[in-house]
Structure 1
Amino acid sequence: MSNGKQIGYTRVSSISQNTERQLADIHLDKTFEDKISAKDTNRKGLNECLEYLREDDVLHVHSIDRLARNLHDLQKIVSDLIDRGISVHFHKENLIFNGSESAMSKLMLQMMGAFAEFERNLIHERQKEGIAIAKQNGKQLGRKAALNKEQITEVKYMLNAGFSKSMVATKFGVSRQTIYNVM
């Protein structure tokens, strides 16, 4: 066991998700957390964690995809930590990187990182396909429209009748910009 601290890093993709189960059974001196997608490495919790870590510390991460979602970022983070004398332990994959790993464990890191990147790309493709299908089926995407079709017809009628845009906006409880957008 090293003389350094046991540091945890947890991440979920959204605020509504919970990180508690990720490193629940491990005694950690300090934990850093992000509730944001891992599509890039500019994450507050990760940046604070990387800054906090010192030589002989061990960084505990639930799984490779919690640390990075593409192979380039994963390899950079892990190699930078190893160069600083910091070990990295991925619990789900049961991989430990401390500078003395075998060619097989390096290959595993690359493969797992490539799978994480592949999975992220698949999710993105499915999301785009789902949006395209929803648009094709006439589904409302994004925020609900401020005015329905009948209200838009009435707004246009009132504007043509000479009512001011402010008065029309007040009547429908919307901003003047919404009225301008209808015109």
Structure 2
Amino acid sequence: MTGQRVGYVRVSTTEQNEVRQLDGVGLDKVFTDKASGRTRDRPKLDEMIAYVRRGDTVFVHSLDRLARNVTDLQGIIAELNAKGVRVEVTTQGLVFTGDDNPMTKLLLQMLGAVAEFELATIRERQAEGIAKAKAAGKYRGRKAALTAEQAAEIARRHAGGAGEGITALATEFGVSRQTVYRYLSQTETTAPPG
């Protein structure tokens, strides 16, 4: 009996279109993260790893979609292979089964290092661009996720008699839980002593 064909897709921002990554690949299920690959902490990646079973095949567009550093990349593939899951990288024509030959392992390390280098280069260019924009007086920084009024509303409702939960507030205001925690901690540190 053959296993399921499971896709993993990752884009860095919510504005990016993920459709092209596994377009034309027949899949039974797809897990999509809209998060940076520089961190291993991605909910759909964890969900996909928990979901797959022995005999399944995970398809990914390219290695940098799984991770942007060699350590995470090797760890994710090893974890999947330990469960008896194959990993196929569609654009690079690579297949990882766990009993890979030395050449496949070398390719994994080299391509992982390239992805890590690309991320470092992107960050460096971004920092240079920000520095130039600041010097020219054109840099305003990222737009705040919440207005001052929204932040105050969240703080009031969270501290109120019912004490609304972080998840419910994050969903209602269209932000992440981390954003709600950050605004709440800022509110606590700026609140006048009572």
* Larger Rg over CA atoms: 1
User: If the length of structure 1 is used for normalisation, what is the TM-score?
Assistant: 0.75
Whether contact under 8 Å (2:57, 2:85) holds in the other structure is yes
Structure 1 vs Structure 2 CA RMSD:
1.3
Partner of 1:5: 4
1:79 equivalent to 2:78? Answer yes
The unaligned stretches of length 5 or more in structure 2 are: 144-194
Change (3 A) 1:143 1:19: closer
Aligned AA (1:63) = S
User: If the length of structure 2 is used for normalisation, what is the TM-score?
Assistant: 0.71
Aligned AA (2:54) = E
Q: What's the offset of the Cα at 1:100?
A: 2.7
- Residue by residue over 1:117-148, the C-alpha shift from the partner in whole angstroms, topping out at 9 and shown as x without a partner, is 0000000011111111111112232268xxxx
Whether contact under 8 Å (2:130, 2:139) holds in the other structure is no
Partner of 1:28: 27
Which whole-Å CA distance do the structure 2 matches of 1:49 and 1:143 have between them?
31
Partner of 2:185: none
Aligned AA (1:44) = P
The unaligned stretches of length 5 or more in structure 1 are: 145-183
How many equivalent residue pairs? 143
Q: What's the offset of the Cα at 1:35?
A: 1.2
Spell out structure 1 runs of 4+ moving beyond 2 A. Answer: none
Aligned residue runs from structure 1 range 105-116, under 5 A: 105-116=104-115
Whether contact under 8 Å (2:58, 2:86) holds in the other structure is yes
- Residue by residue over 1:135-164, the C-alpha shift from the partner in whole angstroms, topping out at 9 and shown as x without a partner, is 1112232268xxxxxxxxxxxxxxxxxxxx
1:69 equivalent to 2:86? Answer no
Deviates more, 1:112-121 or 1:129-138: 129-138
- Residue by residue over 1:67-118, the C-alpha shift from the partner in whole angstroms, topping out at 9 and shown as x without a partner, is 1000000000101111111100011110000123211111001100000000
